[in-house]
Structure 1
Amino acid sequence: MFSWFAELNPIMQAFIGTLFTWGMTALGAGIVFFSRRDHQKFLDAMLAFAGGVMIAASYWSLLAPAIEMAERGSLPAFVPAVVGFLLGGLFLLLVDKFLPLLESDKYLKEIKDRNAKHRTALLVFSVTLHNIPEGLAIGVAFGALASDFTSATLAGAIALALGIGIQNFPEGVAVSMPLRREGLSKQKSFFYGQFSGMVEPISAVIGALAVVFIQPILPYALSFAAGAMIFVVAKEIIPGSLEKGNVHLASISLMIGFAVMMTLDVALG
């Protein structure tokens, strides 16, 4: 069924994979055209489910292949994995320090102020910046297919793209619906909601190109992507799914997301 996809260049595969994740962001943002409510329980469940997906993907699609690849090197296998993983988290920590991801509640309190355009641009830019590691992760996973490492599989890369795509759906909803509630038109709310996903195909191609032509960095790149994803889950996704009080729902949803992604990656791999 996917034989045509398997025959494509890994860079093109990464690009197509992130067109899917962008499409899922747009699909979530498109909810603004059909509903006036953001269905908080549904969003919290989806967000937590996505967190479970990303945790599982970080290990099975990124860290495990990185460790196996590193076993061929001169350093202990855990060194590239640990260094890359911590650098990925540190990168997003620095991003948050200089350009924090604005909380929608704080942002929306002043959305109608005279600086609304500036604040809207800052919000969208901030969310977009936080999506770059996701695109890089997909690009690195597909780019690794050009190597001779058996631990890098097309099934694992596809599972990672599916998981991030699932995560992007509630993200699109979470941006577009609050903007609509505060008076922006449906068209503008949709545009801002889907905009953050546009960066993923670009960053995926960059990530794939980097590892295709500089294969020695593969273990570090995969681990870096895993560290960045775990940082996003720990700082934003899990707290975001719990802040409205749906603790049990979010906890079960996270475990289901982890189980689904683990099944996809292991079964397809």
Structure 2
Amino acid sequence: MSKKRYFIQIAYDGGSYHGWQIQPNAITVQELLDKAMSTFFRQPIETLGCGRTDAGVHATEFFAHFDVENIEESKVINSIAGVNALLPYQIAAKRVISVSEDAHARFHATARAYKYYIHFEKDPFKLNRSWLVKDKLDIDLMNKAAFELLNYTDFSCFSKSNTQTFTNNCKIVQAIVEEQNGSIVFTIEADRFLRNMVRAIVGTLVRVGKSEINIDDFKAIIDSKNRSNAGQSVPACGLFLVKVEYPFIN
């Protein structure tokens, strides 16, 4: 029996962790997942995630790939209960999927979607899962601005500086601001995202909602390709990665 590649689907509350990716002197989701899987399979396991989430960001759907040697496929596929028993409660393994040896969790993802949550009144049940905003926001204006995102591909103005990406172009296919039970949910889907992109977009949309800038100003910010012109990066607590799509996974 030789080495075999798999995808693992997980979900996690990022509030307790310093993001997904392993870092020195900080506890991350990847570190704990690798440790749990290495213990369960009794061999070193190194996962590679579908992307990077920053400290405090959550994921209801996240994929990573890993390789296992000399273990029957059925045992790997059915390892969820055992892996979960070794993970903290904030991280949950959902399923393991057998894939081809060249399948890549990051590079083969064809779409990703995020949601960002905003609430307006103190609520202990939304702590670390939504951003409390005390100002009144014009949701209709925010939604009109969000719709303009579909007309652009270069989102340099929303990207963290000094990243190693080869391009700042993204194809956004959905961007909508909705009211849900007195709160706001911003949903955005694209083929790829830049570092800090969603939080910077939300920060700029909030400026529209406060009438600090108008729709033309919003478009001018995108055209400028200058991060300093866009809004603040909003807190990580309200951001959730909710969907990652692959052509070979249902």
TM-score (norm 1): 0.24
- Work out which of the two has the higher radius of gyration on C-alpha atoms and give 1 or 2: 2
TM-score by length of 2: 0.25
Higher percent of residues as strand:
2
